[in-house]
Chains A and B, each alone.
Chain A
Amino acid sequence: MPNVIMPKMGDAMEEGTLLRWLKQVGDEIAVGDPLAEIETDKVSLEIEATESGVLSKTYVDEGATVPIGTPIAAIGEESADTAAAAAAPTEEATPALPAEAPPVAQDAEDVAVEASPVAASGANGRAAAAVPTPAPAPSEAVPAGAATATGSGERLRASPLVKRLAAEHGIDLSSVTGTGPGGRIVRDDIAALLTGAPRVSPVPDQAPAPAQAPVSAPAAAPVSGPSGRPAGVPRELSKIRRTTGRRMAESKAAAPHFYVTSEVDMVPAAALREQINAQAPDDAAKISFNDLIIKAAALALREYPNLNASLENDQLVEHANIDINVAVAIEGGLIAPFVPDADQKGLITIARMSKDLVGRARSGGLTPDEYQGGTFTISNLGMFDVEEFIAIINPPQAAILAIGSIKDVPAVEDGQIVPGKRMNITLSADHRVTDGAEVARYLQSVKRYLENPLTIAFA
């Protein structure tokens, strides 16, 4: 009976939250069927079945967060044959197998040792990987030791009290879902097994106990603060908030930031943009100022490869490709999908691509390979009427470009005051990688491209 595990969807992923089951226990499953919606620290996505059969058990409640590799469901065959299902390689081979299959009880411990570690999943979002699970041992004969190992060979987490009670009552803890931190099995999780209620059995055709809603914390009652003022209502930080916070703190702690600001005349860029957009066949082909900036920043990076680099463990890696991340504000945090090879793409291609990435970033539909990576980041708050701002470097990158609003200002040309458009751009750079002079020259290059936008269009 193959298990479905919480997949690893990127290098930084350590745990995932099961948002919603898309199939119920007892449902027929075909390969490719969406089983569940999960949320990583960056995105939410669907897990697809890589086995067909019947969803025989779910181990994780909706809303629960479990480490990667944790079994979250089991897919079995319709009938109640147990151990043979996992062992049968193909349908054709089944007739010969039953005689050779080892006795079930003996199987339990063997498989626990042999079970391969969690199969790695591809980065394409097809996540479900199967690991063999130990066949359920007869419940009367559970040795105390068996209660402390899961099918995947990992140590099973249970409170000391639970382990003692399991030994005393002959409860097989590998079939119990823990609701404590890190999946720890706590007494409430086995309470039903202690009061003489029917024992939860891992046999596929048996209806599972009704999913237990996570016990919610008592509503935060307004309490008095230290000086008699009402205390605030505490709220858990969202996952993405925590990830953003951790990464930014790491960046600020490790990278000595410095900042250089430059003012760009945007009159020519505005004119070119108007010209291109007037001819656009559809809205998706219309370019934004940000698209122009992506291209300009990318072209300038060709001249300053030192800034198109990553610093990790005292090693600076200059990237051959120029992949520009665009910071996107999403509900509860930030995500920065990237436009690959932005220096080589046409403006309209960049425009279509960034619209698509930003749209899917907001709807939670990005895949990890669209936001993990990138070589240089642009953060643009121009739409919010800001003069200028400084951004924190997106580690392990070397620099980040912060874009302010384009302001209508009086400008002086040939001694005459004329209407002008000006935009401030600020580069935050890692002083371990570069110095002020190089950054200033890079900004001059960006400025030159933007102020002569035909060089962008034809680059």
Chain B
Amino acid sequence: MPVMTYREALRSAMADEMERDESVVILGEDIGVYGGTHLVTDGLLDRFGPKRVIDTPIAEGGFTGAAIGMAMMGMRPIVEMMTWNFSFQAVDQIIQNAAKVRYFSAGQAGVPMVIRGPNGGGVQLSAQHTHSLEGFYGHFPGLKVVSPVTPHDAKGMMLTAIREPNPVIFLEAGALYGTKGEVPEGEALVPFGKARIAREGTDVTLVGYGRQVNMLLRVADRLAEDEISAEVIDLRSIRPFDEQTLVESVRKTHRAVVVQEQWRWYSVASEVAAIIQEQAFDDLDAPVERVSGAEAPAPYARNLEIAAFPNEQQVIDAVNRVLYR
């Protein structure tokens, strides 16, 4: 199986779909001539030309609205947000139009589009450029929200996203563009609504998504030294949500720790904890623990930024609490 970076996996999926389906186009700031701020679209302008790889003005509301119109007329646009922080400029288009047109039109029109870009922090971009928006976008019916962590899933879920008949919020792990992994060739689609068991275990279920999954795997290694067997679940798909995999795991381990970079209040971890207590109450041996980002705007200083995000020790402490150790 070829090894490629997370960035190359995304590019490969988009290029494959553009080859396969000429209604797929890409819009965004600096994605063409410059190759994308994060070089995800590098080379695509040369390959597919300016009619399908469209450099836009710095106007997220405008080009997102334009893409929604294209999608309603039968095209499959991919919109790049240079970072998801800039999507706040386009929230009205995304929530009021993209998420609702199918509903408003009683199914006569749909919005098959992908909005993608780096999400989350960890690279010292400070408060206005550091947000984890999965809880925010996951709140709205009509949107699908995914957050892959491996190059394998980045490609497989991008293929699925482009073929999806509804708007997809594709949250990329911005800090992981350069990480490498095996990616199958061809149409290895990864379905939405299916979590991945990243590591099997029996004593405690660690739940995460995006770059937190890599931390959870390191935590699981450390716990193994103490003879604690941790199961790591990579949610991958925030909406739709795979309740079954989660609940089955907790029924086995009786304990869960949910980890997220975003703030705790009204967050993905809160929803996960609620699902567990609704569906696995009688299997719980301890309250579900949440480990989240510090309740403050993201700091710029490196030491503070590290302190503001969940770390391995916090997760291990939570594991010890649910194990009553």
Is there contact, CB below 8 Å, between A188 and B307? no
Given contacts A186-B286, A217-B325, A218-B226, contact A161 B320 (CB under 8 A): no
Bound together, the chains give a CA A215 to CA B307 distance in angstroms of 30
Is there contact, CB below 8 Å, between A180 and B306? no
Contact of B282 with A by CB under 8 A: yes
Interface size on A, residues (CB 8 A): 19
Is there contact, CB below 8 Å, between A179 and B324? yes
Main secondary structure of the interface of A (DSSP, over half): loop
Q: B259: shortest Cβ distance to chain A, in Å?
A: 17
- A258-290: CB near B (< 8 Å → 1, else 0) gives 000000000000000000000000000000000
A161 is contacted by which of B254, B306, B313 (Cβ under 8 Å)? B254
Per the 8 Å Cβ criterion, residues 161-187 of A in contact with B are: 161-164, 179-181, 186-187
Bound together, the chains give a CA A162 to CA B324 distance in angstroms of 14
- B251 closest partner in A (C-beta): A161
A215 is contacted by which of B285, B312, B325 (Cβ under 8 Å)? B325
Q: Which residues of A contact B281 (CB under 8 A)?
A: 160
Contact of A159 with B by CB under 8 A: yes
Is there contact, CB below 8 Å, between B324 and A163? no
Contact of A90 with B by CB under 8 A: no
Is there contact, CB below 8 Å, between B324 and A215? yes
Is there contact, CB below 8 Å, between B324 and A223? no
Contact of A226 with B by CB under 8 A: yes
Contact of B190 with A by CB under 8 A: no
Per the 8 Å Cβ criterion, residues 252-285 of B in contact with A are: 254, 281-285
B303 is contacted by which of A187, A215, A226 (Cβ under 8 Å)? A226
Contact of A254 with B by CB under 8 A: no
Q: Which residues of A contact B303 (CB under 8 A)?
A: 226-227
B285 is contacted by which of A162, A223, A226 (Cβ under 8 Å)? A162
Q: Which residues of A contact B283 (CB under 8 A)?
A: 160-161, 164
Q: Which residues of A contact B306 (CB under 8 A)?
A: 226
Main secondary structure of the interface of B (DSSP, over half): helix
Is there contact, CB below 8 Å, between B285 and A187? yes
Is there contact, CB below 8 Å, between A231 and B284? no
Is there contact, CB below 8 Å, between A186 and B324? yes
Given contacts A159-B284, A160-B281, A161-B283, contact A231 B324 (CB under 8 A): no
Q: Which residues of B contact A163 (CB under 8 A)?
A: 282
Is there contact, CB below 8 Å, between B286 and A218? no
Is there contact, CB below 8 Å, between A159 and B285? yes
Bound together, the chains give a CA A217 to CA B282 distance in angstroms of 26
- B291-317: CB near A (< 8 Å → 1, else 0) gives 000000000000100110000110000
Q: B272: shortest Cβ distance to chain A, in Å?
A: 17
Q: Which residues of A contact B285 (CB under 8 A)?
A: 159-162, 186-187
Bound together, the chains give a CA A160 to CA B255 distance in angstroms of 11
Is there contact, CB below 8 Å, between B284 and A160? yes
Per the 8 Å Cβ criterion, residues 213-258 of B in contact with A are: 226, 254
Is there contact, CB below 8 Å, between B282 and A160? yes
Bound together, the chains give a CA A223 to CA B312 distance in angstroms of 10
B284 is contacted by which of A161, A215, A223, A226 (Cβ under 8 Å)? A161
Bound together, the chains give a CA A189 to CA B254 distance in angstroms of 14
Q: Which residues of B contact A160 (CB under 8 A)?
A: 281-285
Q: Which residues of B contact A231 (CB under 8 A)?
A: 313
A161, A180, A217, most chain B CB atoms within 10 A: A161
- A189 closest partner in B (C-beta): B324
Bound together, the chains give a CA A188 to CA B282 distance in angstroms of 16
Q: Which residues of A contact B307 (CB under 8 A)?
A: 226
Bound together, the chains give a CA A179 to CA B323 distance in angstroms of 11
Q: Which residues of B contact A162 (CB under 8 A)?
A: 285
Q: Which residues of B contact A181 (CB under 8 A)?
A: 324
Q: B304: shortest Cβ distance to chain A, in Å?
A: 9
Bound together, the chains give a CA A226 to CA B309 distance in angstroms of 11
- B313 closest partner in A (C-beta): A223
A188 is contacted by which of B226, B313, B324 (Cβ under 8 Å)? B324
- A158 closest partner in B (C-beta): B285
Given contacts A161-B284, A162-B285, contact A187 B254 (CB under 8 A): yes
Q: Which residues of B contact A180 (CB under 8 A)?
A: 286, 324
Is there contact, CB below 8 Å, between A161 and B325? no
Bound together, the chains give a CA A179 to CA B226 distance in angstroms of 20
Per the 8 Å Cβ criterion, residues 49-66 of A in contact with B are: none
Bound together, the chains give a CA A161 to CA B282 distance in angstroms of 5
- B226 closest partner in A (C-beta): A218
Q: Which residues of B contact A188 (CB under 8 A)?
A: 324
- B317 closest partner in A (C-beta): A234
Q: Which residues of A contact B320 (CB under 8 A)?
A: 217-218
Is there contact, CB below 8 Å, between B313 and A159? no
Q: Which residues of B contact A223 (CB under 8 A)?
A: 312-313
- A215 closest partner in B (C-beta): B325
Bound together, the chains give a CA A215 to CA B324 distance in angstroms of 8
- A167 closest partner in B (C-beta): B282
Bound together, the chains give a CA A207 to CA B304 distance in angstroms of 56
Is there contact, CB below 8 Å, between A159 and B325? no
Q: B126: shortest Cβ distance to chain A, in Å?
A: 17
- A218-259: CB near B (< 8 Å → 1, else 0) gives 100001001100010000000000000000000000000000
- A143-164: CB near B (< 8 Å → 1, else 0) gives 0000000000000000111111
Bound together, the chains give a CA A231 to CA B314 distance in angstroms of 13
Q: B293: shortest Cβ distance to chain A, in Å?
A: 15
Bound together, the chains give a CA A180 to CA B285 distance in angstroms of 10
Q: B319: shortest Cβ distance to chain A, in Å?
A: 11
Bound together, the chains give a CA A218 to CA B324 distance in angstroms of 12
- A159 closest partner in B (C-beta): B285
Is there contact, CB below 8 Å, between B282 and A218? no
Bound together, the chains give a CA A186 to CA B226 distance in angstroms of 20
Per the 8 Å Cβ criterion, residues 362-418 of A in contact with B are: none
Q: Which residues of A contact B284 (CB under 8 A)?
A: 159-161
- A188 closest partner in B (C-beta): B324
- B227 closest partner in A (C-beta): A218
Per the 8 Å Cβ criterion, residues 65-94 of B in contact with A are: none
- A180 closest partner in B (C-beta): B324
Bound together, the chains give a CA A186 to CA B324 distance in angstroms of 8
Bound together, the chains give a CA A164 to CA B282 distance in angstroms of 6
Per the 8 Å Cβ criterion, residues 4-23 of B in contact with A are: none
26 residue pairs bridging A and B, Cβ less than 8 Å apart: A159-B284, A159-B285, A160-B285, A161-B254, A161-B283, A161-B285, A162-B285, A163-B282, A164-B282, A179-B324, A181-B324, A186-B285, A186-B324, A187-B254, A187-B285, A188-B324, A215-B324, A215-B325, A217-B325, A218-B325, A223-B312, A223-B313, A226-B303, A226-B306, A227-B303, A231-B313
Chain B residues in the interface with A (C-beta under 8 A) = 226, 254, 281-286, 303, 306-307, 312-313, 320, 324-325
Given A161-B254, A217-B320, 14 more pairs with CB closer than 8 A: A159-B285, A160-B281, A160-B283, A160-B285, A161-B282, A161-B283, A161-B285, A163-B282, A164-B283, A186-B285, A186-B324, A187-B254, A217-B325, A226-B303
* 6 residue pairs, one from A and one from B, having the closest CB atoms: A164-B282, A161-B285, A159-B285, A187-B285, A226-B306, A160-B284
